[in-house]
């Protein structure tokens, strides 16, 4: 009996993401039976296009969570990056590549502020990033005057709207970013250091790992990616809006938690976090198709998240 149990659980131990992948597959099958449109290629394209913006943000957020930190300002930084880039295009007369680089730089600066205050001054990331969330959102409203920035110059949509093999370019940009980040985290020495920092920061520091430098770099990376996600959405919508990114921080943290990244750090993977993001979107889209009251969707996400964290906690304590 014990041997049979070991044989069954062995694949799940080798590939921790397998369990959630099976649950995701079961959810897709269930909703496909309840609504024939759900199983179509167009439906899956909608899901992928919907999650790609928060997916870009998720890359940086997940890495921060692995080292035991958190960033609540990602949505607001996405807004600020979108507004800044829109103004660089319309008021500054910048070309699209230059405006994108400058917009990403704005996000990186906000990330640097998060990292410096958290790591060097010692204020907890929860407080620091919450404060920067209000700062970035306020700056976005001030810079835009509370109004959307439009019309954008012709060609601004090329970043997100160019069709490549039947999918918009924004999807391919996300997949490339995710693939590079996932390989870096799994295969490089520096990537593996993140897990040691999250598991035991004191041991990591004593072993010679530059904990402060790595954490600040991750905050900068998170800010840059958040801003870039806002820019991608700006390119798709052909306008910059200060309300961009509202609630993104909760979406990505929920997805990371559902995907197996512990809030205490030291475990999980980008692949698991992305599967968690897909799983939540599949659940939400499926329930909408079933006619569930939209006001209950957030409650469903909360239930799924706390269940996933509870299961992960039980596995860790066993």
pLDDT one-digit tens code per residue, 110-133? 999 999 999 999 999 999 999 999
More confident residue, 310 or 175: 175
Domain that residue 80 falls in: 12-317
CB 136 within 8 A of CB 73: yes
Number of domains in the chain: 1
pLDDT band at 7 (very low <50, low <70, confident <90, very high): very low
pLDDT band at 318 (very low <50, low <70, confident <90, very high): low
List Cβ neighbours of 117 (8 Å cut-off, separation of 6 or more).
123, 128
pLDDT at position 14:
52
Q: Strands (DSSP E) along the chain, which ranges?
A: 163-164, 167-168
Report yes or no on 5 lying in a domain. Answer: no
Average pLDDT over residues 154-182: 91
Cα diameter, the chain: 71
More confident residue, 285 or 57: 57
What is the number of other CB atoms lying within 10 angstroms of the CB of residue 186?
Answer: 12
pLDDT at position 247:
87
pLDDT band at 224 (very low <50, low <70, confident <90, very high): very high
Report yes or no on 3 lying in a domain. Answer: no
Per the structure block, which two tokens stand in for 34?
């309840």
pLDDT at position 311:
66
Give the Cα-Cα-Cα angle 287, 57, 139 (nearest 5 degrees).
110
Report yes or no on 42 lying in a domain. Answer: yes
Q: Which residue has the tokens 């943290």?
A: 253
93-102 pLDDT, tens digit each: 899 999 999 9
Report yes or no on 116 lying in a domain. Answer: yes
List Cβ neighbours of 5 (8 Å cut-off, separation of 6 or more).
none
More confident residue, 126 or 2: 126
What is the number of other CB atoms lying within 10 angstroms of the CB of residue 156?
Answer: 26
Task: Of 10-24, 59-73, 256-270, 272-286, give the lowest mean pLDDT range.
Answer: 10-24
22-61 pLDDT, tens digit each: 888 888 888 888 887 777 888 888 888 889 999 999 999 9
> At residue 8, does pLDDT exceed 50?
no
Residue 149's DSSP bridge partners are 240
pLDDT band at 154 (very low <50, low <70, confident <90, very high): confident
In whole angstroms, give the CA distance from residue 173 to residue 47. Answer: 16
pLDDT at position 5:
45
Please report, for the domain that includes residue 102, its CATH number. Answer: 1.10.3470
pTM to 2 decimal places: 0.90
End-to-end CA distance of the chain: 19
In whole angstroms, give the CA distance from residue 163 to residue 172. Answer: 10
Considering the chain, what is the average pLDDT of its residues? 87
Report yes or no on 29 lying in a domain. Answer: yes
Report yes or no on 52 lying in a domain. Answer: yes
More confident residue, 224 or 50: 224
Report yes or no on 136 lying in a domain. Answer: yes
191-202 pLDDT, tens digit each: 999 999 998 999
In whole angstroms, give the CA distance from residue 215 to residue 62. Answer: 13
What is the number of other CB atoms lying within 10 angstroms of the CB of residue 213?
Answer: 11
Task: Of 19-28, 220-229, 271-280, give the lowest mean pLDDT range.
Answer: 19-28
| Nearest Cα to Cα of residue 69 among 271, 239, 260, 253 | 253
Report yes or no on 4 lying in a domain. Answer: no
pLDDT at position 291:
78
In whole angstroms, give the CA distance from residue 173 to residue 171. Answer: 5
With H, G, I as helix, E, B as strand and everything else as coil, classify residue 87.
Answer: helix
pLDDT band at 2 (very low <50, low <70, confident <90, very high): very low
Q: Which residue has the tokens 């041991």?
A: 203
pLDDT band at 313 (very low <50, low <70, confident <90, very high): low
List Cβ neighbours of 79 (8 Å cut-off, separation of 6 or more).
136, 137, 140, 230, 241, 242, 243, 244, 245, 246
């Amino acid at each position: 009996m014990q041997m049979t149990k070991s044989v069954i659980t062995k694949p799940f131990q080798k590939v921790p993401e397998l369990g959630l992948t099976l649950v995701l597959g079961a959810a897709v099958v269930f909703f496909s039976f309840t609504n024939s449109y759900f199983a179509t290629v167009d439906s899956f394209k909608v899901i992928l296009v919907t999650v790609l913006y928060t997916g870009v943000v998720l890359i940086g957020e997940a890495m921060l969570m692995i080292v035991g930190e958190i960033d609540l300002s990602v949505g607001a930084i996405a807004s600020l990056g979108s507004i800044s880039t829109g103004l660089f295009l319309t008021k500054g007369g910048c070309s699209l590549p230059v405006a994108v680089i400058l917009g990403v730089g704005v996000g990186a600066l906000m990330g640097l502020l998060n990292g410096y205050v958290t790591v060097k001054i010692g204020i907890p990331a929860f407080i620091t990033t919450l404060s920067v969330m209000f700062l970035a959102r306020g700056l976005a409203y001030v810079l835009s005057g509370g109004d959307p920035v439009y019309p954008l110059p012709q060609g601004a949509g090329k970043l997100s709207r160019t069709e490549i093999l039947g999918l918009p370019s924004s999807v391919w940009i996300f997949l490339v970013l995710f693939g590079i980040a996932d390989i870096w985290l799994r295969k490089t020495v520096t990537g593996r250091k993140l897990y040691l920092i999250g598991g035991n920061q004191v041991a990591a520091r004593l072993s010679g790992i530059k904990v402060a430098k790595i954490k600040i770099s991750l905050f900068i990376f998170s800010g840059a990616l958040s801003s870039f996600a806002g820019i991608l959405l700006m390119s798709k919508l052909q306008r910059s809006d200060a309300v961009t990114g509202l609630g993104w921080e909760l979406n990505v943290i929920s997805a990371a938690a559902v995907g197996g990244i512990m809030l205490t750090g030291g475990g999980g993977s980008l692949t698991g976090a992305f599967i968690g993001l897909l799983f939540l979107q599949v659940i939400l889209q499926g329930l909408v198709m079933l006619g569930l009251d939209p006001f209950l969707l957030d409650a469903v996400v909360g239930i799924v998240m706390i269940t996933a964290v509870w299961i992960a906690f039980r596995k860790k304590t066993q």
